[in-house]
Amino acid sequence: MIDDVLAVLKNAKSISVLTGAGISVNAGIPDFRGETGIYTKGLYSENVFDIYYFLHDPKPFYDFAREMYPVFEKAEPTFTHKFLANLESQCPVCIVTQNIDFLHEKAGSKNVIHLHGSVEKSHCLNCRKEYSFDQMKELIKKNVVPHCESCGGIIKPDVVFFGEPVIDFDKASSCVSDSYVFLALGTSLEVYPANTLVQFARGSKILVNKTKTSMDYMFDFVIHEELDTFFKELQNKGGLI
């Protein structure tokens, strides 16, 4: 199997990649739906990311954010993040991520679409004043709920909550349909509409995920393995990068 995947990647004229929480777990960022995920362990309810709950009472989200912002700050790209960034020296690579961290950018990837937004920036819901990650980190430390320094409005990270539309889905689907190879990495393929992107893929489809998904049958190659382990094996075998 690994030889087949290696051959496909070496011959690819362009590659699109969908990444999920599994790619960032080794960076210390917990996933949500995995065996030890945030929702699975009952640490936080999905309501924390519900826009209607947030608008009614943003405190539960900021209780979560107060724990997570230091984690995002300290996290460094994993081997797989770096592998994908280095792959750009071989051919055009478009990354569509479900993750709200910015580890792909830290690794050096140039073409990244954040379907679910990112914590890299935040905006006041009233006057739209922008706040950087570092500014927001300090505001979260000092305040139960951060309010805009200009108008007093509630600040919200540029993250897509349940009840909000995803970002740049048309751009993401075009990226997938235009590529010769589609990779789905570290994703359970349970979240809509990200899980529909495989339907836009016209070339070879490769899934690497630690556990089985309900959409395994839609891929040409399915590998159930931890991401960093697999891509280290791939690099050692084929010297792709």
- 15-26 residue pLDDT tens: 999 999 999 999
127 is in an annotated binding site: yes
Name the token pair of 13: 């004229």
Q: Residue 234 half-sphere exposure, CB side, CA atoms within 13 Å? A: 25
* Burial readout 180-207 (b: 16 or more C-beta within 10 A, e: otherwise): bbbbbbbbbbebeebbebbebbebbbbb
Mean pLDDT along residues 68-81: 96
Residues 6+ apart with CB under 8 A from 225: 208, 210
Is 123 known to be catalytic?
A: no
Q: pLDDT for 108-124, tens place per residue? A: 999 999 999 999 999 99
Q: pLDDT for 2-16, tens place per residue? A: 899 999 999 999 999
* Burial readout 152-169 (b: 16 or more C-beta within 10 A, e: otherwise): eeebbbbbbbeeeebbeb
Mean pLDDT along residues 162-187: 97
Split at pLDDT 50, 70, 90, the class of 32 is low
pLDDT at 39: 46
pLDDT at 233: 94
CA-nearest of 12, 4, 19 to 221 is 4
At residue 42, does pLDDT exceed 70? no
124 is in an annotated binding site: yes
94 is in an annotated binding site: no
pLDDT at 47: 85
Mean pLDDT along residues 59-64: 93
Instruction: DSSP letter for 232, please.
Output: H
CA-nearest of 96, 88, 93, 87 to 173 is 96
Mean pLDDT along residues 47-60: 94
CA distance 143 to 120: 19
Mean pLDDT along residues 53-81: 95
Strands 155-159 vs 117-124: parallel, antiparallel or unpaired: antiparallel
CA-nearest of 190, 141, 133, 135 to 158 is 133
175 is in an annotated binding site: no
Catalytic position from the list 81, 116, 147, 224? 116
Parse the chain into domains and list their residue ranges: 2-238
Q: pLDDT for 202-235, tens place per residue? A: 999 999 999 999 999 999 999 999 999 999 999 9
pLDDT at 181: 98
* CATH 3.40.50.1220 applies to domain 2-238: yes
Q: In whole numbers, what is the pLDDT of the chain averaged over residues? A: 93
Mean pLDDT along residues 149-162: 97
